[in-house]
């Protein structure tokens, strides 16, 4: 079998089973197995695959046809240009969350460019560690704390930080909410992509998410807003003067989240949209004096 034959077969197989971007996913599986850049492989489609390569590829296509996420099969994903390893213990980072990380590092870099002391960030619900790692890589002054209720997620995140060269600037702690943070610890910015799927909607998600992402990283309670209530109620005590919160939320949650934060005396600096023009990110301050965090 040649590369071109495999791509035709795999694309047809995955497309028939409802897998989106079947051709691209087939190419990425090929790249993973052959350990060569995808472009080079596409320029050499008449190359013969060995028996072992064919066997390996067929096995991976079968796994993908069962709707196991491509990222789990490969073992990693790209986030803000960084390799982030993932497993069934952590949520696979979504493309829109890259914007959250970018908002955070640009804000910290701009607002505190003249400050000599380290900048402090809290990543609430770190999962794979992708957000705090991306911020630390792109803002060298940042020293971060990253918390998650799952010890398995903390282990994945710590390994990702080491692989991306920022392990020495991020402290990972297993914590149920803010409960395990040391007393008196305060941050310039708290960033979060918390669970925000309403409990009753989880079973209706795509199989890749419903059956493979950890439900603890998805389930935001009855209306999906439990963690926003927690952040609005408790985050202010962990912010330095002038500090704020940036958080990602789900479709249609804009008005409810705004109300939750305003009830806890936060000022909504802005609601930012994702690349599809959908309201997706909250930027809020606990004090009366608004400061531009955008």
pLDDT of 62-87, one tens digit each? 999 999 999 999 999 999 999 999 99
**C-beta neighbour count of 251 within 10 angstroms:** 12
pTM (global) more than 0.85: yes
Domain over 3-66 is classified CATH 1.10.8.10: yes
User: With bands split at pLDDT 50, 70 and 90, how would you rate the model's confidence at 112?
Assistant: confident
Average pLDDT, the chain: 93
Could you give the CA distance from residue 251 to residue 197 in angstroms, rounded to a whole number?
A: 9
Is there a shared CATH topology between the 3-66 domain and the 81-285 domain?
A: no
Query: What average pLDDT does the segment 241-262 reach?
Result: 94
Checking if the pLDDT of 240 tops 50, the result is yes
Helix (H) or strand (E) holding 79: strand 76-79
Query: What average pLDDT does the segment 188-199 reach?
Result: 96
For 264-277, how does the pLDDT look when each residue is reduced to its tens digit (9 = 90+)? 999 998 999 999 99
Domain boundaries, the chain: 3-66, 81-285
Q: Residue 5 has which token pair?
A: 């034959």
Checking if the pLDDT of 293 tops 50, the result is no
Closest by Cα among 195, 242, 234 to 214 = 195
**Percent share of the chain, pLDDT over 70:** 97
Right CATH for 81-285 from 3.40.50.360, 3.40.30.10, 3.40.50.150, 3.30.70.120: 3.40.50.150
173, β-bridge pairs: 147
């Amino acid at each position: 079998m040649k590369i071109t034959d495999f791509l035709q077969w795999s694309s047809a197989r995955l497309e028939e089973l409802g897998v989106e971007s079947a051709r691209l996913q087939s190419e990425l599986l090929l790249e993973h197995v052959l350990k060569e850049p995808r472009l080079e492989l596409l320029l050499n489609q008449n190359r013969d695959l060995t028996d072992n390569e064919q066997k390996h590829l067929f096995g991976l296509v079968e796994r993908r046809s069962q709707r196991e996420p491509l990222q789990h099969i490969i073992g990693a994903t790209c986030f803000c240009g960084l390799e982030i390893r993932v497993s069934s213990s952590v949520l696979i980072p979504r493309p829109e969350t890259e914007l959250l990380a970018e908002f955070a590092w640009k804000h910290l870099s701009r607002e505190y460019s003249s400050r000599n002391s380290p900048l402090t960030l809290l990543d609430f619900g770190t999962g794979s560690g992708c957000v705090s790692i991306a911020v630390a890589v792109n803002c060298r002054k940042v020293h971060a704390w990253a918390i998650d209720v799952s010890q398995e997620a903390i282990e994945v995140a710590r390994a990702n930080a080491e692989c991306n060269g920022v392990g020495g600037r991020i402290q990972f702690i297993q914590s149920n909410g803010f409960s395990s943070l040391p007393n008196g610890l305060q941050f310039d910015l708290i960033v979060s992509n918390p669970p925000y799927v309403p409990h009753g909607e989880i079973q209706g998600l795509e199989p890749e998410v419903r059956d493979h992402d950890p439900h603890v990283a998805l389930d935001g309670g009855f209306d999906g807003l439990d963690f926003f209530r927690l952040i609005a109620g408790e985050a202010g005590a962990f912010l330095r003067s002038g500090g704020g919160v940036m958080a990602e939320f789900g479709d249609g949650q804009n008005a409810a989240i705004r109300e939750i934060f305003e009830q806890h005396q936060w000022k909504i600096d802005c609601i930012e949209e994702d690349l599809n023009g959908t309201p997706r990110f909250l930027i809020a301050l606990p004090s009366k004096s608004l400061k531009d965090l955008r």
